[in-house]
Structure formats: structure tokens, C-alpha cells
Amino acid sequence: MNINSILNSIKKANHMLTETLILHYYTKTVCSGCGIDPVNKEAINYNCPVCGGTGYSIEDKMIDIPVSFEYLSSDNKLNSEVNRLKPGVYDDSVILITIDKEEMDEYNIDIDKVDCYEWNNTKYRIISKEPGVLGGTIYEINLMLEKII
Ligand SMILES: [Zn+2]
């Protein structure tokens, strides 16, 4: 097997059983309705209907991507099989996600700029990330995510 056919097999495996993960990117901009007072660095209008008196507005850009998915079982041992999820039988406090290179490229994903992750109406933050590398090519990125309480 050459490297290209190995990478192709990995790509197929990564897309066999997928869940939808939402990546959230937050952008903080100065409020268009009032703005920030240059002297006290606070909102110009504390009763501003646009920003609610904070002086900033937060834009939440969301990207939905398919990811392959594993989870830690309730005894916290790593479940290495990719499981199709059934509601209620897993511990969703820590999840393991694999994002394939195809999605990394297609959506131009920079993991370091993602503010939080959402799956199954629950928000997660990153605990660790590890790229899969073969022949100098990153073919996937593995993330361990923990529920934000
Ligand atoms: Zn405002």
C-alpha cells in the first residue's frame, strides 16, 4: 500500500459514522449603536439597546462539520471503538472527536481560533489536540473535548 491509498482509507473511515459538530467563533467588535468612551473605556450609552450597555457586540459565527466520534465510557476507560451514539447510554462529559483533513481544508479550519464546540446542544472546550501525520501530511486532527458546565 502506498501512502495515498492509506490516506484514502483513513478518509473513508473518518466519514463512515459521523456526528455533526458545531464550531463557534466569537468576534468582539465595538458596538455600532454607541461605542466605547475613550476615557473611561466603558460603553458610551449604558442603556444602549444594541449592546445592552456593554459597549461591544459579540458575533457568533458557526460552522457545522461532520466528525467521527468516540467517547469515554462511564468508568473513564477509553472506548477505542467508534460507536454510533444512542442517547442515554454514554457519558458525554468528555468526548473524542476526529476531524478529517477534508473538512479542515473545505472549511479552512484553524483549531486555535475556535472558541467553543457544540454537540447535541451542549458546549465543549478543548482539553487536548493531536494531529495525525503520515508522510509529512496531516490527515486528521484528534481533539479531546470536555463539557462546559
Ligand atoms: Zn451600544
- Read off the pTM: 0.77
pLDDT at 135: 85
Whether the CB-CB separation of 141 and 100 falls below 8 Å is answered with no
Q: How far is the CA of 60 from the centre of ligand 1 (A)?
A: 17
Q: How far is the CA of 36 from the centre of ligand 1 (A)?
A: 8
Our CA angle for 83, 88, 89, nearest 5°, is 45
Our CA angle for 89, 95, 97, nearest 5°, is 125
Q: E strands within the chain?
A: 18-30, 56-71, 94-100, 116-119, 122-134, 137-147
Q: Mean pLDDT per 10-residue run, the chain (149 residues)? A: 87 89 94 94 95 93 91 52 49 86 92 93 94 91 92
pLDDT at 93: 82
pLDDT at 96: 87
CB atoms within 10 A of CB 108: 8
pLDDT at 90: 60
Distances (CA, A) of 142 to 36, 38, 48, 98, 131: 40, 43, 42, 5, 6
Q: How far is the CA of 125 from the centre of ligand 1 (A)?
A: 29
Q: How far is the CA of 44 from the centre of ligand 1 (A)?
A: 7
Q: How far is the CA of 64 from the centre of ligand 1 (A)?
A: 30
